Chain A
Amino acid sequence: MTDHDQARIEYSESGIYTKTVAALAVAASRRDSRAVFLVSGSVYLVVYLVTVGDLSTLSGGWEPFTIRVAEDLSRVFARVGFFRFAAIAVVSIGPVVYLFSPGNALVAILLAGLVAGNVALTYLGFVQPRACGLESSTGVLGGIPALLSGAACCGPTILLVFGVQAGSTLITGFQLLVPVAVLLLLGSLLIVGQQVDPSLL
C-alpha cells in the first residue's frame, strides 16, 4: 500500500467536519479556488449590502469622497430590525453611498464567507478528476433567504416590492431568514466538503 493509498483510506474514514476542513484547506492553497472564493464572496457581499439598503447609488448624482460620522456612536449596538443594526457613518464616493454599520457588515461578511466557501468547494468538486455531481452546487442557494431579509423602516422590503400584505406570522418568519440562511449554508458546506477529495486534486 502506498502512502497515497494510506492517505485516501484515512481521509475516507474521517468525519464530515474533518473532510470539510481539509477541503477548505485545499481551496485556500490553490490560486484558482482562492479566486473563486474571493469573487463569489465579494459578489454576495455587495448584493447583500444592497438588499439590506446599506449600499446604494445616487440617482444621477456624484459626490466627492466624504465620511459623515454619527454623533452617538453607541448606536453601533442599536438593532433596527431582524439582524439589522444601525449605521454609524455615511461614506460617499462618486455615485456610491455606503451606510457603514459594523453589525450589518459582520453579518454580511459571515454570510459572504459561507457562500464563498460553498462556491469554492463546489468549484473544486467540478475540477477534480472524478466530479462529485452537480447537486452540490445547489448549496449556495442557502444564501438566498438572507437576501430577502432587507427591511424598510417598517416591514420587509421584499413585501413592498411584491405588494404582499404582512401578517404577524409572516413577520415572525422574517426574523428567521438570516439564521436559516446561516444554517443552510453551514449544512451545504459540510455536504459539499465531503464530496471534495483532496487526494484527487
Chain B
Amino acid sequence: MTQYVTRRAVLAAGVASLAGCLGRGPVGGAVNPSSTTPDDGTGLDGEPPKGNPGGPPTAQDRLPLPGEPSSLRDRAVSGGPPKDGIPSIDSPAFVATDEASDWIDPSDPVFGLATGTETKAYPQSILVWHEICNDVVDGTPVSVTYCPLTGTAMGFARGETTFGVSGRLVNNNLIMYDRATETWWPQVLATAIPGPWNESPPIRSLREFRVVWTTWERWSTVHPHTKVLSRETGFAQRYGSDPYGSYNPRRGYYEPDSTPLFVSWGEDDRLPPKTVVIGTRAADGAAAFEKNALREGRRIEGNRGGSQLVATYDPHLDTGYVYENPSRAQFEVRDDTFVAESEDSFTAAELPLERTLAFDAMWFAWSGFYPETTLYD
C-alpha cells in the first residue's frame, strides 16, 4: 500500500500541479468575513471523463489512492443500508437565517459554502441523515457531501448527473456513486474505483471545492444573509436527533477516543482516532494539521511530499487554511491577522499564496487513507 502511494507520487511528479487548486471556479469554500471571492475550489467546469459519458466532471490530475483501485473495491464493506437506502437530497429548499435560528442551536455544526454571489449553510443535523445534497450554486451543479463516520464534509462538481449513497464504505468512509455511470466514488479519496455497477471506470478524480466545517453561530455571524438548507427535504425524518451521538457537546461516536464503527485502515496512534485534523493531499503526498494545535498556534509551517506549506487559523469560523509556500514566506501572527515581512496584513483566508484544498477529517480516517501523511500536532 505504501509503495503504491510512493510510486504514484513519483510518476505524478512530472505533471504535478495540485489537484486541489487547478484554478478558480465559480464555487469555493468559505472565506473571511469581508471576502466575497471564491477560494481554493478546483474549478467546477471540467469535462466529463472520456469513456464515462454523462459522468461528473473530473480534475486533470489524479489524487493518490491507498492501493490499487481494484483492491479498494475488495475492501469495501456494507454499512447496512442498500443503494440509496440513505436518500440524497435532490431538490433542496433553503430558508433565511431567522427561520433557521428557530431550530439550529448556535453551537451546532454547519457546513458552509460561500461564493461570489451565494452563501449557503448545510446543517450537520440534516446531512447526517442524507449524506449528500445535490444542489445548484451560482448556476453550477454541485454536491455537498458529509460522511458522519469519518467526519468529512466535502464539495464536488457533479455536472448533469447526481450523486447517491451506495450503502458501502471504505475505511468507514462514504462511497458515493454517480447516477449516470454508476461509478463508485469514495468521498475522501474523491476518485473513481471499480464497483459492482461499473467494473472498469476511468480512474479519475473529481473536481472538489472547500466546504467549511464551523458552527451555526459563527457562520451566521460572518454571513448574516446566508441561506440555510431547509428541513423540508421531502423526506419523513427527525432532524433533531443524531443516530451516532452529539457534537454539541461531543458525545458518542464523535468522542476523540471512541472506536470507529467499522474496521479502520488507520494504525497510526499518534492521535486518538476521532481527533480532528485539517488534511491536505495531492499527487505529491499528504499532510495533516491537528486542529487543536492550529487553534493554539494560529500558524503552523509544514511539508507535504516536499512541498512547503503554511497553515493558518481563522478564529471567526474556527477553521484552518493551508497554502503552498515554496518561498518560505514568513507571516507574523498579530491578533487575528497575519503580517508579512512587508508589514502588509492578511486574514487567515487571504494570504498572498496559492491555497491548497484542505478539509476537516477524523485522524483514523486520514491516516488510514494516507498512511505516509506528515502530521503537525
Question: Which residues from chain B contact A157 at a C-beta distance below 8 Å?
Answer: 243
Asked whether any CB of chain B lies closer than 8 Å to the CB of A56, the reply is: yes
Task: Point out the residue from B85, B128, B258 that lies within 8 Å of A78, measured CB to CB.
Answer: B85
Asked whether any CB of chain A lies closer than 8 Å to the CB of B259, the reply is: yes
- Give A98 to B338 CA distance when docked, in angstroms: 51
Asked whether any CB of chain B lies closer than 8 Å to the CB of A168, the reply is: yes
Are B234 and A70 in contact, CB atoms less than 8 angstroms apart? yes
Are A56 and B252 in contact, CB atoms less than 8 angstroms apart? no
- Give A122 to B50 CA distance when docked, in angstroms: 67
Are A160 and B261 in contact, CB atoms less than 8 angstroms apart? yes
Given contact pairs A75-B87, A153-B129, A159-B261, A168 touches B78 in the complex (Cβ within 8 A)? yes
Asked whether any CB of chain B lies closer than 8 Å to the CB of A171, the reply is: yes
Task: Point out the residue from B149, B245, B263, B264 that lies within 8 Å of A154, measured CB to CB.
Answer: B149
Interface string of B217-261 (1 = CB under 8 A from A): 000000000000000001111101101110000001100001111
Nearest CB on A from B242, distance (A): 9
Nearest CB on A from B187, distance (A): 12
Asked whether any CB of chain B lies closer than 8 Å to the CB of A10, the reply is: no
Are B243 and A152 in contact, CB atoms less than 8 angstroms apart? yes
Are A71 and B234 in contact, CB atoms less than 8 angstroms apart? yes
Chain B contact residues: helix, strand, loop or mixed: loop
Question: Could you tell me which residues of chain B, from 160 to 210, have a CB within 8 Å of some CB in chain A?
Answer: 169
Nearest CB on B from A8, distance (A): 51
Nearest CB on B from A26, distance (A): 41
Residue of B nearest to A91 (CB): B236
- Give A151 to B80 CA distance when docked, in angstroms: 8
Residue of B nearest to A157 (CB): B243
Asked whether any CB of chain B lies closer than 8 Å to the CB of A190, the reply is: no
Task: Point out the residue from A53, A79, A89, A166 that lies within 8 Å of B236, measured CB to CB.
Answer: A89
Question: Which residues from chain B contact A152 at a C-beta distance below 8 Å?
Answer: 243-244
Asked whether any CB of chain B lies closer than 8 Å to the CB of A82, the reply is: yes
Are A80 and B85 in contact, CB atoms less than 8 angstroms apart? yes
Q: Give how many A residues have a beta carbon under 8 Å from the other chain's beta carbons.
A: 39
Interface string of B127-170 (1 = CB under 8 A from A): 01101000000000000000011000000000000000000010
Asked whether any CB of chain B lies closer than 8 Å to the CB of A100, the reply is: yes
Given contact pairs A58-B240, A154-B149, A154-B169, A82 touches B235 in the complex (Cβ within 8 A)? no
Are A156 and B236 in contact, CB atoms less than 8 angstroms apart? no
Question: Which residues from chain A contact B23 at a C-beta distance below 8 Å?
Answer: none
Are B85 and A160 in contact, CB atoms less than 8 angstroms apart? no
Question: Which residues from chain A contact B78 at a C-beta distance below 8 Å?
Answer: 168, 171
Task: Point out the residue from A58, A97, A154, A167 that lies within 8 Å of B80, measured CB to CB.
Answer: A154
Nearest CB on B from A157, distance (A): 7
- Give A156 to B234 CA distance when docked, in angstroms: 25
Asked whether any CB of chain B lies closer than 8 Å to the CB of A90, the reply is: yes
Question: Which residues from chain B contact A103 at a C-beta distance below 8 Å?
Answer: none
Asked whether any CB of chain A lies closer than 8 Å to the CB of B4, the reply is: no
- Give A56 to B131 CA distance when docked, in angstroms: 22
Are A156 and B237 in contact, CB atoms less than 8 angstroms apart? no
Question: Could you tell me which residues of chain B, from 75 to 105, have a CB within 8 Å of some CB in chain A?
Answer: 77-82, 84-87
- Give A168 to B168 CA distance when docked, in angstroms: 11
Are B243 and A100 in contact, CB atoms less than 8 angstroms apart? no
Residue of B nearest to A167 (CB): B263
Are A165 and B86 in contact, CB atoms less than 8 angstroms apart? no
Are B80 and A56 in contact, CB atoms less than 8 angstroms apart? no
Are B243 and A53 in contact, CB atoms less than 8 angstroms apart? yes
Are A81 and B80 in contact, CB atoms less than 8 angstroms apart? yes
Task: Point out the residue from B149, B234, B258 that lies within 8 Å of A72, measured CB to CB.
Answer: B234
Question: Which residues from chain A contact B259 at a C-beta distance below 8 Å?
Answer: 163-165
- Give A196 to B359 CA distance when docked, in angstroms: 65
Are A78 and B80 in contact, CB atoms less than 8 angstroms apart? no
- Give A64 to B306 CA distance when docked, in angstroms: 61
Q: A72-B235, A99-B238 are in contact. List 18 more A-B contacts (CB 8 A).
A: A56-B238, A72-B234, A78-B87, A80-B86, A81-B80, A86-B236, A87-B236, A153-B129, A154-B80, A154-B169, A154-B261, A155-B80, A155-B149, A160-B243, A163-B258, A167-B77, A167-B262, A171-B79
A-B contacts, 15 listed (Cβ < 8 Å)? A72-B234, A78-B84, A80-B81, A87-B237, A88-B236, A90-B236, A90-B237, A153-B244, A154-B148, A155-B261, A163-B259, A165-B260, A165-B263, A171-B78, A171-B79
